[in-house]
Amino acid sequence: MAALEAFDAVDLIHVKRDRGELSTEQIGWLVDAYTRGYVADEQMSAMTMAIFLNGMTRREIRDLTMAMIASGERMSFAGLGKPTTDKHSTGGVGDKITLPLMPLVAVFGAAVPQLSGRGLGHTGGTLDKLESIPGWRANLSNEEMFAQLRDHGGVICAAGSGLAPADGKLYALRDITGTVEAIPLIASSIMSKKIAEGTGALVLDVKFGSGAFLKDIEKSRELARTMVGLGEDAGVATSALLTNMNVPLGLAIGNANEVRESVEVLAGGGPADVVELTVALAREMLALVGQVDVDVEAALRDGRAMDKWRDVIRAQGGDPDAPLPVARETHTVLADRDGVLVEQQALPFGIGAWRLGAGRARKQDPVRHAAGIDLHAKPGDTVVKGQPLFTLSADEPERFPRALEAVEGAWRVGAPGEPVQDGGPLIVERIGR
């Protein structure tokens, strides 16, 4: 005889539908029953839509997060003998910051367990970028991950299926039911995995603007505050930077080309915005583990961060000296007049790179590592007629028309003195203690 269930899913749906509050016990049962298949996808779809429309209290979000953590294993790095600090970005166009950030922070003796994901749609995935490097592997066992943190101080790898499995199931459902943007569900999804990962400190890079997951700065601020609260409630030192994603980050959008740009940053060069955000996040990650007066820029200038990068890439089977993939075909767009680049919208360029093959429409789709867009100018730059503005790269030239269609109207050369697209400062606000 089957065990009697503590609650009924329909009753709980009615509570949220009617703007009520679920108890800790009800939320715990719901997540467990959905994970083991007792609550059907159709029922959880109704629940996620009710949450999307009516929200959750901070206590409910905390209970949801802890129930998702409880659905799987919880890692611990207590035996490492060094503090752990991690970063999570909500994603954007050209956001390759994890690549130079992890080795930069590891230089200073903190361990960086960077569990990362793959891209879907216009936002690129860190693992997809790194798989451009010949031999590099994303899947490590917990033992391999621990050993690499002990020996090299940093790792970027795929999260194991044992971490918050309820989130994996719920995320897939949200993706096909129009409920991805619900802040309680975003916050619990991100933080359940990060808390289960076992890091002692966490910095959140929460983006807003045209190329961000959440366009509105107030929504992004609400998400940042919610996630910082969840981290603090779980005993993880947590802070967030609210950052601008109205303009692509850096000059490279894709996979292999973003690795190239990251290596430029580690060599002491690279675009100013990528360097600025990398340095700011490194300082924040180190401050949360008690290192407040370290010269992170010096580690980029003197080669220590580059040496660490090479160590951790080799540790995961990659060859840091191997040539990266190059696309068979390119198409360069030229300035049609003298003037100033006054506009360059992030989202259309992200969609353009996706259409070239740099991203995927479905989780099972492969990415083309050589595909992408390289920008040759940023808003405010003076250009002359015939000067390259950006280059599309793809293995199949038939991809170019749809990519060009995506970026049509997303950039503009104006007359000298014409107001430039005001993306505002890159880093707008810090949220946390």
- Please report, for the domain that includes residue 119, its CATH number: 3.40.1030.10
Of 284, 301, 322, which marks where a domain is finished?
322
CA dihedral angle for residue 375, residue 381, residue 384, residue 386, rounded to 10 degrees: 10
What pLDDT score does 207 carry? 95
Check: CB of residue 288 under 8 Å from CB of residue 105.
no
| pTM confidence score | 0.93
Q: Is residue 405 domain-shared with residue 339, that is, in the same domain?
A: yes
- Asked if residue 427 belongs to a domain, the reply is no
Does residue 308 sit in the same domain as residue 240? Answer: yes
Assess if residue 142 is contained within a domain: yes
The whole domain housing 49 covers: 9-70
Predicted local confidence at residue 364, as pLDDT: 67
Domain check: are 293 and 355 in the same one? Answer: no
Q: What's the total number of domains in the chain?
A: 3
pLDDT computed for residue 115 by the predictor: 87
Find residue 429's DSSP bridge partners: 242
In the predicted model, residues of the chain with pLDDT beneath 70 are 1-2, 119-124, 361-364, 422-423
pLDDT digits (tens, 9 = 90+) for 318-348: 999 999 999 999 999 999 999 999 999 999 9
The whole-number pLDDT of residue 239 equals 98
Do 110 and 52 belong to one domain? Answer: no
Q: Name the phi and psi angles at 170, rounded to 5.
A: -70, -40
**Is residue 344 included in any domain, yes or no?**
yes
Active site positions, annotated: 88, 167, 174, 189, 193
Q: What is the pLDDT of residue 178?
A: 84
Shared domain for 111 and 235, answered yes or no, is yes
331: Cα separation from own chain's centroid: 28
Which helix H or strand E contains 35, and what residues bound it? helix 24-35
Strand 339-344, strand 411-414: pairing = antiparallel
Residue 315 CB: number of other CB atoms within 10 A? 17
Q: Cβ(284)–Cβ(208) under 8 Å?
A: no
Q: How far apart are CA 104 and CA 96, in angstroms?
A: 14
Start-to-end C-alpha separation, the chain: 52
Report CA 185 to chain centroid distance, whole Å. 16
428 and 221 Cβ atoms separated by less than 8 Å: no
**Would residue 430 count as lying in a domain?**
no
Residue 390 three-state SS: strand
Nearest to 205 by CA among 427, 359, 433: 427
96 contacts 213 by C-beta, under 8 angstroms: no
- CATH of residue 338's domain is 3.90.1170.30
- Distances in Å between the Cα of 309 and the Cα atoms of 81, 299, 303, 383 are 21, 12, 10, 35
Does some domain include residue 248?
Answer: yes
Same domain (yes/no): 316, 336: no
Give the pLDDT score at 120.
60
Q: Which value, to the nearest 10 degrees, does the dihedral of the CA atoms of residues 239, 245, 248, 250 take? A: -30
Do residues 183 and 300 share a domain?
yes
Indicate if 280 and 347 belong to the same structural domain. no
- Give the distance between the most distant pair of CA atoms in the chain: 80
Question: What pLDDT is recorded for position 323?
Answer: 96
Q: Are 133 and 259 in contact (CB under 8 A)?
A: yes
Residues 25, 103 within the same domain:
no
CB 205 within 8 A of CB 89: yes
C-alpha to C-alpha distance for 403 and 147, rounded to whole angstroms: 43
- The CATH number assigned to the domain holding 55 equals 1.20.970.10
Q: Count the Cβ atoms, other than its own, within 10 Å of residue 143.
A: 8
Model pLDDT, residue 398: 96
Distance from C-alpha of 362 to C-alpha of 356, rounded to nearest angstrom: 15
Q: Tell which of 21, 53, 70 closes a domain.
A: 70
The pLDDT assigned to 161 comes to 73
Q: Are residues 142 and 99 located together in one domain of the fold?
A: yes
Q: Is residue 347 domain-shared with residue 222, that is, in the same domain? A: no
Same-domain status, 357 and 267: no
Domain limit, last residue, from 322, 337, 369: 322
- Of 122, 172, 133, whose CA–CA distance to 156 is shortest? 133
44: three-class secondary structure by DSSP: helix
